[in-house]
Amino acid sequence: MHIVCSHCLAINRIPEDKSHTQAKCGKCQQAAYSSSPVELTDASFYRYIEKNDLPVIVDFWASWCGPCKAMAPVFTNIAKQSEELLFAKVNTEQAQQVSADASIRSIPTLIFFLHGKEIDRVSGGLSESQLKSWIMQCLQKLG
């Protein structure tokens, strides 16, 4: 399995018999896996979503967006509970190229990626139960 370090973006190969949640980055020696959402930029976005072998759920948000602020703690809480998924956030005001490439028309928008390919998306603020339900639907699409 390959995990992109949440600190330095180095790609780490995790042996099958090892847990990715305990892995240290070979480059920066910090924890390669983060249970908290990783802040992505125009520069880091594609490497993170394309090179990770785990699905990545990205929250596209903005600082002025009320529903974004309301959903942020829910998103972080679900991230801490989910070891088989990676969570990331993209500030649409700062990462304008990525936001345009992803055709973000309303915020918050969540996109579920696997190996850089969009599997599903949902727009609007979600409650914890709605977010969990959407994630389960996305995982079912993976088969």
Question: Which residues carry out catalysis?
Answer: 65, 68
DSSP alpha helices (H): ranges in 22-127?
45-51, 66-81, 96-101
Place of tokens 């703690």: 73
Tokens of 103: 């055709």
> What is the secondary structure of 68-80 as a DSSP string?
HHHHHHHHHHHHH
